[in-house]
Chain A
């Protein structure tokens, strides 16, 4: 994901001379240093100073720059929430909501692995989606990263994009051109617009709403459900947690009668909460949330990350089981 982000940034840098990239001593890890080599004047590494990272970005944005600021999730919403709120989201020049800063974090969620619980950010979706003017994006694969980077660069306003640390299986297939348009591996209509969910697989008996690394798991879970129980499972990629696609959710609730959510985040306040908030107001159906159960993470070596996820129930098998076990509200 980080490589895709880095390449997308360079494309944006070529396209727009006002694109500036900021880092905080994680620029090799996030691979934004490549942008720095390409555009040395437009790249600032402020050292291990995340508050300064965010507020300097705000200052640059206030003067017309499109700023991408990146580090690990645990050090962005996890550390600099005051600066994010008061310096980026709150100032609204000429009535436009917030400043033009894109906070892009990697190392979101449990899949951070070996670094342990101190580095596994499980609260960021919750923090970021409660801040007015922020839009929150969670890409499922490198294609989504490229497309969302493009989208954020071309749309005014503050964004938070949360990437996973480790390699994720492709959901949207090869040949992503960064345009955000086109058909993915599923053949479904997939576009990366804020406020939209992608229906990756149609289904009529239940829905799994996922984001980030859980999207590919959800597709596996759908396969399992069909194979084992002939249950037809719809899979939604909720890459835009805020704004959330209430229309697609309502349709899923109405047509499939039950919704399971899965994310590598605390179930309090995360994508699952956002889905529940939306559906309970539009078309209430039984909902089950999978995620960290108000708990912290812990170390797991790379090969053991599935075990860590499993401890919190984040597996295709559990997703299939929980989705199948949910009481289904019949279509009215």
Chain B
């Protein structure tokens, strides 16, 4: 079974937008802590938890206990996406008479725990897990606790009890976002180590030598797994490992970013408990929809040592590993086939973005699924309505993302339009495939201008991946065209410092995104709204950087 990466990612996006919708409608609520746990809840709701929205009290269901109850909008939005109630009900969040109370409440069927008073959800989870064990039920209990609420002594009372009673059906996520109501956790009550007055909280993220939280839980007898809580592949893997663990409970210490995916909320304690203004909602939604993916292509590196290239990309924190499979028939040269994919798979958890530049892909796609691909993209030039349908079914059944690629000379074929709502990725080639080191074909910009409306009109909810000659210079314009995933060959893998190159790419794309959002603010509310948008940014260098972009673009005076 594949990772289901694309499905999870798109539902996490839907849920995040519902959080914004609900809190904006309510005029209060906690978006920050809802976003820090978004990928955690995504992996639980859309892959690992067993539940039935039509029968919320099903006795063998898995239980999700949200101990950090103030993140209720995050829970409710996922419940809506999962089908417990209509998404429109999120508009009643915190309203008189609504089932969607300010904090999770059993008034809403499917909610397992009345959260709100912090520090108690773990004890409750231990009780639920013990009851399941007494009744020999197969259900698992998943619990999400906050780092702020870890100040409460009862968390540690429960930690001891869970350890004593060896509740192996309990998996706890610590949403380690480093922020509590007053300030950074490491200022209010350090869990890792005390933060200096002049330090940004990102210092804690970056320096593993200062992390102590895992040691605390290990000392309490827990199985401890530490991950980046925004990496779907890491959350997924951690859950699998937790489920395989025997003899005691597991805690997955998930380092996260409060407000993740909305720049002005990220790492900003102000967004612990504050709702976005209604007029900002469209801009925030646009920001959520334009999160980008950096996908280094390893064939731009040392073809005789692809394993080393994968490791370099993984250490460089790539989002995907882009694997160009060439068969010497669809394109003039050969790279590698599924055996190589399989061989590389154990090197990293990072999703494999397998791009099949091969003839008759429908005859081979299964091999690439079995080799461990997370997304498989086939070319429109060598598929038709029947073979693509077959490919799409195979991929979907196996939890693998579905991609369709078009060469520079190819337009999106008519037969593909009906598939678009269920396609996860469109690769738009901006070089002729088969040779590396080519320059970006400038007419791709016009092609993108033709393509984007077609995608939108046909219900496409995935993202466009730009492939070929994308570099730091043109990344902004490629982003502006609508691409959200970027294959980097020469511009990333061929460089000596892959990590720095990826960071540079992210910055280039982030700048383009900031500009796009400023442009949107200008369109919606002129310089007044632009000013207010800029003022939302308060952490670190962001306010100055955003203002500079706005000034350069002429939205505000210098």
Residues of chain A at the chain B interface (Cβ within 8 Å): 20, 41-42, 44, 46-47, 49, 51-52, 54-65, 82-83, 86-87, 90-94
State in angstroms the CA–CA spacing of A49 and B57 once bound together.
30
Asked if B132 lies at the interface with its beta carbon under 8 angstroms from chain A, I say yes
State in angstroms the CA–CA spacing of A271 and B228 once bound together.
55
B126 touches A59 (CB 8 A): yes
CB neighbours of A42 from chain B (8 A): 134
Sorted from nearest, which 8 A-B pairs have the closest CB atoms?
A59-B127, A63-B131, A55-B123, A52-B157, A49-B157, A56-B127, A59-B124, A60-B127
Asked if B204 lies at the interface with its beta carbon under 8 angstroms from chain A, I say no
Q: Which of B128-176 contact A (CB under 8 A)?
A: 128-132, 134-135, 153-154, 157-158, 160-161, 165
Given that A55-B120, A87-B120 are known contacts, is A44 also in contact with B165, CB under 8 Å in the complex? yes
State in angstroms the CA–CA spacing of A47 and B162 once bound together.
12
Given that A51-B120, A58-B124 are known contacts, is A46 also in contact with B161, CB under 8 Å in the complex? yes
A56 touches B124 (CB 8 A): yes
A59 touches B130 (CB 8 A): yes
A to B CB contacts below 8 Å, 23 in the list: A47-B157, A51-B119, A51-B123, A51-B153, A52-B123, A55-B154, A55-B158, A56-B123, A56-B158, A58-B127, A59-B124, A59-B125, A59-B127, A62-B112, A62-B113, A62-B124, A62-B131, A63-B128, A63-B135, A64-B131, A65-B134, A86-B120, A93-B106
State in angstroms the CA–CA spacing of A49 and B163 once bound together.
14
State in angstroms the CA–CA spacing of A315 and B114 once bound together.
45
CB neighbours of B119 from chain A (8 A): 51
B134 touches A83 (CB 8 A): no
CB neighbours of A65 from chain B (8 A): 131, 134
CB neighbours of A87 from chain B (8 A): 114, 117, 120, 123-124
State in angstroms the CA–CA spacing of A57 and B126 once bound together.
9
CB neighbours of A58 from chain B (8 A): 123-124, 127
Asked if B221 lies at the interface with its beta carbon under 8 angstroms from chain A, I say no
Given A62-B113, A65-B131, output 7 extra A-B contacts at Cβ < 8 Å: A49-B160, A52-B157, A56-B123, A60-B128, A61-B127, A62-B127, A82-B117
CB distance from A69 to the nearest CB of B (A): 10
B128 touches A59 (CB 8 A): yes
CB neighbours of B57 from chain A (8 A): 94
Main secondary structure of the interface of B (DSSP, over half): helix
Asked if B107 lies at the interface with its beta carbon under 8 angstroms from chain A, I say yes
A63 touches B132 (CB 8 A): yes
Main secondary structure of the interface of A (DSSP, over half): helix
B128 touches A52 (CB 8 A): no
A86 touches B114 (CB 8 A): yes
Which partner residue on chain B sits nearest A80 by CB separation?
A: B154
Residue-wise, chain B 72-114 has the 8 Å CB interface mask toward A (1 for contact) of 0000000000000000000000000000000001110000111
CB neighbours of B120 from chain A (8 A): 51, 55, 82-83, 86-87
Asked if B116 lies at the interface with its beta carbon under 8 angstroms from chain A, I say yes
CB distance from A71 to the nearest CB of B (A): 14
A63 touches B117 (CB 8 A): no
State in angstroms the CA–CA spacing of A20 and B105 once bound together.
25
CB neighbours of A61 from chain B (8 A): 127
Which partner residue on chain A sits nearest B111 by CB separation?
A: A91
Which partner residue on chain A sits nearest B129 by CB separation?
A: A59
CB neighbours of B125 from chain A (8 A): 59
Which partner residue on chain B sits nearest A87 by CB separation?
A: B120
Which partner residue on chain A sits nearest B159 by CB separation?
A: A52
Given that A49-B157, A82-B117, A91-B114 are known contacts, is A59 also in contact with B123, CB under 8 Å in the complex? yes
A56 touches B117 (CB 8 A): no
State in angstroms the CA–CA spacing of A83 and B120 once bound together.
7
From B105, B116, B117, B135, give the contact of A64 (CB < 8 A).
Answer: B135
A86 touches B116 (CB 8 A): yes
CB distance from A93 to the nearest CB of B (A): 5
State in angstroms the CA–CA spacing of A57 and B130 once bound together.
10
Which partner residue on chain B sits nearest A58 by CB separation?
A: B124
CB neighbours of B116 from chain A (8 A): 86
State in angstroms the CA–CA spacing of A86 and B115 once bound together.
8
Most chain B CB inside 10 Å of its own CB: which residue of A20, A47, A63? A63
From A47, A51, A90, A94, give the contact of B154 (CB < 8 A).
Answer: A51
CB neighbours of B161 from chain A (8 A): 44, 46-47, 49, 52, 56
